[in-house]
Amino acid sequence: MNSISLSVVGNRKRSKGPMEHSEPDKATAVRAARLYLYRWLAAAATDPAVAGWRLLQDAQLQAEASAAAEYLRQLPEARPEAVAPGEIESTLLDTTQMISFLDTETDWAAEYMAVFGLLGSQECPPYETDYCPQTLSVYRAQQLADIAGFYAAFGLEPSTRRPEKQDHITLELEFMAWLIAKEQYALSNDITDGVAKAEACRDAQETFFQNHLAWWVPAFAFALRKKTDGLEDPAERTAPPASFYGSLGHMLAAFISVERALLGVEPPVELAAVRVEDPASVSCEGCGFADASAAPGAQQMPSKEVQEAQAKRHGE
């Protein structure tokens, strides 16, 4: 499955799915299952006009994603001690409902615009920085710079065909899939320093997931349920979804709890809130960097973790 909105710098090989391995060891099976679900969720969150979205209707991909979800929800290690605010139990991780909605006659472009169009996106924005407690453009630009630094450190750059802000949910999910694929490649091929490179990918997964997914995606998932299924109370989040995008929110809420358990990430103490920035305060449409560069003393430096990842990659 090709990247939806990220262009790979260099060649890319397709990883095998969880059902394609011959007697895989457990760690390999877990990586494969995680990879497939990250790609499935990334495709589900993108614009239906993008070719990658149509892969959701491919019977083979549906079977692979379903097998991956079944494998992870039965895995004891994938069950956190307690679900965080906005999450749901990992045992509810399932693609069945999403697939059933895909089989309906729906104007998916109109459905997407109703949820993520100009007005809808104010209620459930698919961008990380729209959930930041700090509303200053300088802080949000720093977050975007950190995300972009991670992408660059591991050989990815924004697509010129469909430009998108670095913190879009689809890009962040795709990036995690890319890190898992690189980890698996380093371990399964005879390459120099393969183990060290795999560890660098694993460390990046933990850091990126904690800093750029775990804290806000549960809030995004509930916002989706509220927008599309009419939920008002987070306590209702385990209710069966009534729409495709509601089922996406439902699955994201379960998958984040799975990933927290597998990566050993501590839960956030509270559910993030939507804090959409006033469009009038952003002078560079779509990039989110202009205001920060204009602010006195503002810097757009990648985080320490990104700098370390870049150093490791340049040392390969």
What is the Cα–Cα distance from 279 to 265, expressed in whole angstroms?
A: 33
Selection from 32, 34, 289, 9 nearest residue 153 by Cα = 9
pTM: 0.82
Average pLDDT of span 181-203: 93
Give the CA angle between residues 236, 237, 242 to the nearest 5°: 95
* Alpha-carbon dihedral sign for residues 267, 268, 271, 272: negative
Greater pLDDT, 58 or 280: 58
Instruction: Name 6's bridge partners.
Output: 158
Distance CA(31)–CA(26), nearest Å, equals: 9
Read off the pLDDT of each residue in 299-312 and give the average, rounded to a whole number: 46
Relative orientation angle of helices 217-229 and 108-116, to the nearest 10 degrees: 120
**Residue of higher predicted confidence among 168 and 190:** 168
Report which residue type is found at 148: A
